[in-house]
Amino acid sequence: ARLVELDQPRRLENLQKLEDLKKHLMDLEKQ
């Protein structure tokens, strides 16, 4: 269980990075 608990913040960070990348790509497409 500890491994999962430790891994979750990292997953959240990765999700946020993915969202940022998606936003960036969408912004590029708009231009």
> pLDDT by residue (tens digit) across 1-31?
577 777 788 899 999 999 999 999 999 999 8
Q: Domain residues of the chain, as ranges?
A: 1-31
Output the pLDDT for position 20: 98
> Distance between CA 11 and CA 1 in Å, rounded?
15
Structure tokens at 22: 């998606």
Phi, psi of 4 (to 5 degrees): -65, -45
Q: DSSP letter string over the chain? A: -HHHHHHHHHHHHHHHHHHHHHHHHHHHHH-
pLDDT at 1: 58
Encoding tokens for residue 23? 């936003």
